[in-house]
Amino acid sequence: MPQIHELSSTLVDQIAAGEVIERPASVVKELVENAIDAGSHEIDIIVEEAGLKRIQVIDDGSGIANDEVTLAFKRHATSKITDRKDLFRVHSLGFRGEALPSIASVADVVMVTSTGGEGTEIHISGGQTKTQKPAEARRGTDITVTDLFFNVPARLKYLKSLNTELAKIVDIVNRLAFGHPDISFSLANNGREMMRTAGRGDLLQVIGNVYGLNKANKMLAIKGKDADFKVSGYVSLPELTRANRAYMSVLLNGRYIKNYALTKAIIAGYGSKLMVGRYPLAVVNIEMDPLLVDVNVHPTKQEVRISKEPQLSEVISEAIRRQLANQNLIPDALSNL
Ligand code: ADP
Ligand code: MG
């Protein structure tokens, strides 16, 4: 048996990257979540070849202080939580301090960041810092990732077609936009605009930007709450359905989550109004005390554990049930949209 030894930090980062950075869309998700956490108003995402050639995310958020830039790329270094008690009250999308070191360990990264005034430009490739120098920049962060998975050939091979990878990027940006109607997002691939939201705080407008105006015009506003949960959003009229569940988004305190029970609760709200095998379009935002949800279940943070999940399901179903019943009473309520 060889001797036991500690792995190098670069190798540890690469192992972590295996969990967090599965494909180009994972890089986009992590970078955009960082931009959201930084309090940005405008986030521009530019990709080439579905992110395989280049992923760039430009934000107008807080930026990173010059003397913290090196730390931002260290594993388990974060500005978002400090102690155990924070872990149960996570208000930000990030908190694990894993994304930047993971991405930098499997790609080439150039980041220009400034808190206002002179900022920093750092270039890291395969986990090794190449250069770090002062840079003129406006407040915010501009990060460019190229050569993704250059040192992880197996991961590269496993990727699907460019179209599939691009669809996954569009999907994640759409859902992040649903959770943040007050932020203006734009996404372009190979110079072609894929989506853009106005950032005026109007969720129905974001739904229109993403799914088209004619679909937004067939959505009903829902609202519901109880002692623990506040639910709001839009669901489609029973006449507007899809053959799969991909058009239902559940966001918990601004975080897009994958949760089968809550998706079922949306469908249950329609009762017998949906045809078998048809699913509605829906964007459901849930506000709740972070204490009631454990986001530290999976590295990508898309799976979470919610206490009182059956109770939350009922709030969602009931909000939809009530709105659809109202709709039947006032058939031309749509004309007000
Ligand atoms: P996490 O988001 O879990 O804290 P990351 O590795 O994604 O970990 O980022 C590390 C730290 O770098 C963050 O905690 C934050 O302080 C800083 N950071 C990363 N991206 C940005 C950004 N776009 N704007 C401002 N700060 C950022
Ligand atoms: Mg992060």
Between the CA of 74 and the centroid of ligand 2 the distance, in Å, is 12
Q: Is the CB of 119 under 6 A from ligand 1?
A: no
Between the CA of 72 and the centroid of ligand 1 the distance, in Å, is 6
pLDDT at 332 > cutoff 90: no
Instruction: Kindly give, in sequence order, each residue whose CB lies less than 8 Å from that of residue 261, ignoring residues fewer than 6 positions away.
Output: 309, 310, 313
**CATH number for domain 212-336, candidates 3.50.50.60, 3.30.230.10, 3.40.50.300, 3.40.50.2000:** 3.30.230.10
**CATH number for domain 9-196, candidates 3.30.565.10, 3.10.270.10, 3.30.390.30, 2.40.30.110:** 3.30.565.10
Q: How many CA atoms lie within 13 A of 81 on its CB side?
A: 19
> What is the predicted pLDDT for the residue at 98?
92
Q: Is the CB of 57 under 6 A from ligand 1?
A: no
206-214 average pLDDT score: 96
211-231 average pLDDT score: 96
236 beta partners: 219
Q: Report yes or no for ipTM above 0.95.
A: yes
Measured in whole angstroms, the distance separating CA 43 from the mean position of its chain's CA atoms is 12
Ligand lying closest to the C-alpha of residue 72: 1
From 30, 44, 75, 78, mutation site for ligand 1 pocket: most ligand atoms within 8 A of C-beta: 78
With a threshold of 0.90, does the pTM exceed it? yes
Instruction: Kindly give, in sequence order, each residue whose CB lies less than 8 Å from that of residue 54, ignoring residues fewer than 6 positions away.
Output: 46, 47, 48, 144, 145, 146
Summarize pLDDT for 234-258 with one digit per residue, the tens: 999 999 999 999 999 999 999 999 9
Q: Where are the domains of the chain?
A: 9-196, 212-336
Helix (H) or strand (E) segment spanning residue 188: strand 184-189
Q: Is the CB of 314 under 6 A from ligand 1?
A: no
> What is the predicted pLDDT for the residue at 5?
94
Query: Under DSSP, is residue 204 helix (H, G, I), strand (E, B) or coil?
Result: helix
If pLDDT is split at 50, 70 and 90, which confidence band does 303 have? confident
Residue (of 207, 206, 108) closest to 149 by Cα position: 108
Q: Is the CB of 62 under 6 A from ligand 1?
A: yes
